[in-house]
């Protein structure tokens, strides 16, 4: 498909207000494929794990869910997404709940992720969409101690780029005393149920993420999240893969 035909197709859908139908057809196709391949959601729906899900209707498949290897549970609402044609891997997850902050950081540690891509604000439309999962202030005295998973998180520095910021955080395993610096790319001008205010700003954000090496295949997959981990998160991955291809 050429760029001209993509533009024409977009115009035809938009002019005739057919977006709901397009979305529904994609949704139906995906649900049919999941049914045919017998993809299950058993772990996410178990009584012991329901409290770890932000939304009742957003659950990770059993075959691709991230499995934790220490702490009081092996469950987190997160999927490994592979785009083999683009040689990309991502971990898509929900914005952490208060009771899943330690699980979130354990996933970052165990999956050897170099970066977290946060595409939402903590509070949107007067609703909490994500719990604050990093220290509020810079400095060792403000570090988070996640004793249930044997990790600490220290806030080192922050750079502000207007539409987004980049935080540097130090993640330490208290048992081995090994540490890694984790970059958090926080995009703050992408509204829930909306689109980025500027394509230029979004592409600048993507360029910074790529330049950091966070998407390279010699490090663990980046952890990508918004509130549910499907809308803005999925869109980021789609744009990145399309540009690769």
Chain centre to alpha carbon of residue 96: 10
**Burial, 192: exposed, middle or buried (Cβ in 10 Å; 0-12, 13-18, 19+)?**
middle
Q: At what angle do helices 231-244 and 199-211 cross, to 10 degrees?
A: 70
Give the three-class secondary structure for 69: coil
Could you write out the DSSP letters of every residue in 100-143? GHHHHHHHHHHTTB-EEEE-S-SEETTEE-S---S-SSSSGGG-
Helices 3-15, 19-36: inter-axial angle, 10-degree rounding: 110
Query: How far is residue 185's CA from residue 115's CA, in Å, rounded to a whole number?
Result: 7
Tell me the CA distances in angstroms from 153 to 73, 198, 210, one per residue in order.
20, 32, 24
Instruction: State the DSSP H helix or E strand holding residue 45, giving kind and residue range, or none if neither.
Output: helix 42-45
Structure tokens at 51: 């409290």
Work out whether the CA dihedral 214, 217, 223, 229 comes out positive or negative. Answer: positive
Active site residues: 226
């Amino acid at each position: 498909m050429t760029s001209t035909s993509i533009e024409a197709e977009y115009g035809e859908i938009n002019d005739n207000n057919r977006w709901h139908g397009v979305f529904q057809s994609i949704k139906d196709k995906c649900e049919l494929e999941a049914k045919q391949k017998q993809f299950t959601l058993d772990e996410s729906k178990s009584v012991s794990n329901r409290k770890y899900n932000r939304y009742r209707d957003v659950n990770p498949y059993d075959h691709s869910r991230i499995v934790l290897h220490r702490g009081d549970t092996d469950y987190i609402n997160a999927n490994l997404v592979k785009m083999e044609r683009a040689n990309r891997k991502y971990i898509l997850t929900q914005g952490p709940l208060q009771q899943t902050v330690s699980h979130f950081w354990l996933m970052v540690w165990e999956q050897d992720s170099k970066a977290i891509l946060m595409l939402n604000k903590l509070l949107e439309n007067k609703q909490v969409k994500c719990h604050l999962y990093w220290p509020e202030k810079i400095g060792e005295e403000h570090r988070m101690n996640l004793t249930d998973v044997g990790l600490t998180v220290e806030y080192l520095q922050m750079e502000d780029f207007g539409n987004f910021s980049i935080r540097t955080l130090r993640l330490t395993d208290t048992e081995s005393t090994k540490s890694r610096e984790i970059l958090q790319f926080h995009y703050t001008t992408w509204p829930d149920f909306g689109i980025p205010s500027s394509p230029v700003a979004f592409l600048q954000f993507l360029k910074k993420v790529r330049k950091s090496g966070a998407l390279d295949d010699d490090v663990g997959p980046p952890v990508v999240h918004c509130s549910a981990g499907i809308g803005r998160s999925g869109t980021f991955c789609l744009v990145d893969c399309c540009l690769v291809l």
